[in-house]
């Protein structure tokens, strides 16, 4: 079961992403849950107008306007997808396409939140650290945006066999590939490694008594990982006081990190939340969360989690998630 949240009140943000031929970039982002709309066009040229055949003269970049629900798809997760499908060290070339119109760029309009720009630069700093060199991705205010001709809109939807420099099937693969082949320990091993409470909750679908776990009221920057596998699940940035007695989050760090099952116990129908890597029972998700955060409340048992403070994330091997935590 996959949880789709497009029916919840969206908090739409818009970002313009240049990543080579815009057919493939649009085709990829159309497959990402939380993306509400895409449109191809030309951005940041030297004049107000242009066309597909004038790009080398007007210096516009082939670009995709991405409108996304930030209550479902975080800016950091969106950019992680973007970094995955480009070569961030290549100047004016992506795939077989060469020229200034194929440069990489992140452009934002005047309505884009100031905090979003700070978060973009933090993601780029984290990318630079991973690459060991500075990415050659423009980050600029949007100017001279031109919607592309209709023949280019949704091109790969209408021409499935058309040219694409991006492997679109990547959209169906986890961003966090560390847990694709995760081997869950035997129950006997887990009984030895976990506390009785953690074992009962993660392996036997138990629950913490309300207001009993210290994570309920913990207010410290960091991430919460699956106590069984160590998979990163939730960020302190998305944590809020749900008043229910269990830690509450508006969304996971990555949508793919969780699995969902129908739960008809206790004479009611609920949606159970499990970790994707180790299949640990974590809790439930309810549609009564703050609307400005996406409308959902992930009600999670603290005993199913391990908290790693921001100050220790790098040391414990979770450095790549730091941009998802910092405010």
32 contacts 253 by C-beta, under 8 angstroms: no
Report d(CA 282, CA 198) in Å as an integer.
Answer: 10
Report d(CA 155, CA 24) in Å as an integer.
Answer: 9
C-beta neighbour count of 173 within 10 angstroms: 11
189: which residues sit within 8 A by CB, 6+ positions away?
none
206 burial class (0-12, 13-18, 19+ CB within 10 angstroms)?
middle
Which residue of the set 21, 123, 164, 244 is catalytic? 21
Report d(CA 320, CA 327) in Å as an integer.
Answer: 15
Instruction: Tell me, yes or no, if 21 is annotated catalytic.
Output: yes
Report d(CA 260, CA 3) in Å as an integer.
Answer: 7
Report d(CA 303, CA 301) in Å as an integer.
Answer: 5
Which residue of the set 123, 164, 244, 299 is catalytic? 299
250 contacts 3 by C-beta, under 8 angstroms: no
Instruction: Tell me, yes or no, if 299 is annotated catalytic.
Output: yes
Which residues are catalytic, by number?
Answer: 21, 299
């Amino acid at each position: 079961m996959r949880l789709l949240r497009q029916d919840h009140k969206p908090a739409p943000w818009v970002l313009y992403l240049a990543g080579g031929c815009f057919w493939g970039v649009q085709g990829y982002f159309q497959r990402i849950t939380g993306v509400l709309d895409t449109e191809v066009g030309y951005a940041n040229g030297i004049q107000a107008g242009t066309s597909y055949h004038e790009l080398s003269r007007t210096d516009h970049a082939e670009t995709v306007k991405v409108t996304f629900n930030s209550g479902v798809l975080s800016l950091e997760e969106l950019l992680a997808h973007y970094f995955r499908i480009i070569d961030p060290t290549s100047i004016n070339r992506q795939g077989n396409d060469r020229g200034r119109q194929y440069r990489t760029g992140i452009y934002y309009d005047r309505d884009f939140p100031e905090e979003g720009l700070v978060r973009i630069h933090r993601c780029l700093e984290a990318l630079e650290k991973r690459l060991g060199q500075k990415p050659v991705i423009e980050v600029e205010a949007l100017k001279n945006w031109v919607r592309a001709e209709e023949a280019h809109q949704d091109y790969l939807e209408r021409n499935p066999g058309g040219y694409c420099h991006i492997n679109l099937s990547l959209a169906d693969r986890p961003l966090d590939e560390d847990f694709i082949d995760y081997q869950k320990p035997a129950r006997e091993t887990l009984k030895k490694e976990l506390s009785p409470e953690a074992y009962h909750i993660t392996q036997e679908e138990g629950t913490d008594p309300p207001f009993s776990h210290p994570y309920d009221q913990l207010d410290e920057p960091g991430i919460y990982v699956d106590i069984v596998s160590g998979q990163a699940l939730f960020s302190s940035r998305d944590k809020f006081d749900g008043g229910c007695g269990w830690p509450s989050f508006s969304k996971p760090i990555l949508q793919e990190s969780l699995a969902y099952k129908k739960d008809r116990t206790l004479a009611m129908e609920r949606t159970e939340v499990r970790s994707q890597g180790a299949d640990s029972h974590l809790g439930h998700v309810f549609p009564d969360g703050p609307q400005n955060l996406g409308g959902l409340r992930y009600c999670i048992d603290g005993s199913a989690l391990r908290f790693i403070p921001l100050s220790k994330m790098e040391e414990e091997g979770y450095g790549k998630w730091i941009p998802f935590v910092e405010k």
